[in-house]
Amino acid sequence: MITVSALNALATVRHGFFTRNGGVSEGLYASRNCGFGSADDPAHVRTNRARCMLELEVPPENLVTVNQKHTTDVVVVDGPFDPEAIPVADAVITTRPRLAVGVLTADCAPVLLADGTAGVVAAVHAGWKGALHGVIDNTIARMEELGAKPRRIVAGIGPCIAQRSYEVGPEFPAPFLAEEENNVRFFAPSRREGYFMFDLPGYVARRLARLNVGEVMPTPCDTCREETRFFSYRRTVLRGEGDYGRMLSAITLER
């Protein structure tokens, strides 16, 4: 798994951005696919998720993820969900020790957040749509309701698609520029006329900074290009492969 030093410095917090390696899945899903939303064997997915929890030293049944739909919805949890009643949301928060909250990604940005003093941790699934419309903002607001202070919050931005791999169409920049003119900095010209290369991790980092988050630390990865380490939705689409694995990112309070 990949970690960031800013979160590692928090004595009561454990976290991990897990790669595609070290699991039991096969074929397109080789090898640590953690997404039940894929067509992978569910038994393999359960084993892969359990292996992640073993590395975090959390019981496998204490991993909480949600039904992600690129929303701005946030849930606060104090225990696992009924498997038949998992809510739709794109961020999960907890104050309960030994409960791991996680999100699944395959190019979108996983964001792990912690206020070690208040004992509040969160996991956010930040694709362009959720980030633009406020999933990060909503998460920080809910963390504040639970006693967190933005200046104490540490944020790690996990492996996601990098700007060099993220080509977007002519219509894409408009809503970002409508939000703030300075967002033009996150768009570079593509080789194709009228198209752009979008900096998702840079935009996510900027949203966090605007919310006065105390420390923001990205990871220098590109899920689309680094095939041996990461699953990628865009790479799968470009190849016409039909399905793809999902990587887990999770965070937990030790006490």
The structure's pTM equals: 0.98
Q: What are phi and psi of 196, to 5 degrees?
A: -135, 160
Return the pLDDT at 75: 98
CA distance 152 to 150: 5
Residue 255, pLDDT score? 79
Give me the sheet containing 187-189, strands edge to edge: 167-168, 196-198, 187-189
- Residue ranges and CATH numbers for the domains of the chain are 5-162+199-253 (3.60.140.10)
The SS3 assignment for 222 reads coil
Per-residue model confidence (pLDDT) at position 15 = 98
Q: Are 24 and 30 in contact (CB under 8 A)?
A: no
10-residue mean pLDDT series, the chain (255 residues): 98 98 98 98 98 97 98 98 95 98 98 98 98 98 98 98 98 98 98 97 98 97 98 97 97 93
Label residue 39 left, alpha or beta by phi (over 0 means left) and psi (-120 to 50 means alpha).
alpha
Q: Which of 102, 101, 95, 138 is nearest to 118 (CA)?
A: 95
Q: Rounded CA gap, 252 and 112, in Å? A: 10
Tokens 């794109």 correspond to: 90
